[in-house]
Amino acid sequence: MTDPVSRTILLLDIEKYSDRDDVEQAYLRRMLYDITDRALESAGIDERLRLRADRGDSVMELIDANASVAALLRTLLTEVPTQLQAINRMASSSAQIRLRGVVATGYVAVDNLDGWVGSDLNHACRLLDAKLLRAALRERPNDFALCVSESVHAGIVRHGHRGIPADDFHPVTVDSKNGPLRAWLHGPVPRHGTDDHCEEGGAPAPGGSGESPAPGADTPASPPPSGPPCGPPSGPPSGVVFNFNGGSPSFGGSVVAGDQHGVSGGQVTGDVHLGGSGGESA
């Protein structure tokens, strides 16, 4: 295994990728890599400063520590939403691409099987898979939700560099199997659909995988859950399941949260309504 070296970590993930068919998934992967390459090129980060790992619906980039993190953030905040809007204007509803993104810094080593190893990388992956970030994307009109690590905020964001408005980032705490992770979310903190802690203006809600059906899916609408503003989580903590195949970490997949109950031996009379009102079905 190589010695750990300092790297900027960029993670991008496609929302509801597994809900698409093979043709749509192939198209979305092409769009993901095209968006990533254009963003890094615009930030002045060429291929010699990058190491990429393919995770199917996600892309992981290890970027040389000498590359400008401020330039990367400016590109992610401005050009990536513009690219997504241009792509989605011409795409069918089932081929819409929406992305979650994480920018972090830390030390990463490469093992003998070309796997990436490092707790900083693991933390970044858990931020990417957090219910809070998934819920934030559902509320974003520009098809992109971005979270940065505490180190990126302390070193770059809070100083108000050109094109990086510090006031647009809000502190959040994401639950993980290794304990709470503090991070900073760009844009409003979601009010529903997350078991994570909000520190400003958010409201956690228990249960669910943190994502709505893919664009174009035939799913009836249901009202948002009610709950008190910003309190402790009432459901189990979210996290990322890591499988190590040949030493290389992978992440993603669905999360099932909340208690599951079966009912037997009882009698139910009258109308039953689930997830809606009137004659709607769940």
- pLDDT tens digits for the chain (282 residues)? 788 889 999 999 999 888 788 898 899 999 999 999 999 999 999 989 999 987 778 899 999 999 999 999 999 999 999 999 999 998 888 889 999 999 999 999 887 767 788 889 999 999 999 999 999 999 998 899 999 999 999 999 999 999 999 999 999 999 877 789 999 999 999 986 555 555 544 333 333 334 544 554 444 444 444 443 444 444 444 443 334 344 444 444 433 344 444 333 444 444 433 344 444 333
Q: Given this model, what pLDDT does residue 175 score? A: 85
Entry pTM: 0.69
Q: Given this model, what pLDDT does residue 242 score? A: 39
Q: Where are the alpha helices (DSSP H) in the chain?
A: 22-42, 69-90, 119-128, 131-139, 150-155
Give the long-range contacts of residues 154-159, CB within 8 A, separation 24 or more.
Answer: 155/69, 155/105, 156/69, 156/70, 156/73, 157/73, 157/184
- Closest by CA to 134, choosing from 204, 72, 68, is 204
Q: Given this model, what pLDDT does residue 170 score? A: 97
CA atoms within a 13 Å half-sphere pointing along the CA-CB vector of 7: 25
Q: Given this model, what pLDDT does residue 172 score? A: 96
SS3 185: strand
User: 161 phi and psi, to 5 degrees?
Assistant: -65, 160
Euclidean distance between CA atoms 210 and 191, whole angstroms: 12
Q: Given this model, what pLDDT does residue 201 score? A: 41
Q: Given this model, what pLDDT does residue 110 score? A: 83
CATH class, domain 5-215+227-250, is: alpha beta
Per the CB < 8 A criterion, the answer to whether 109 and 3 are in contact is yes
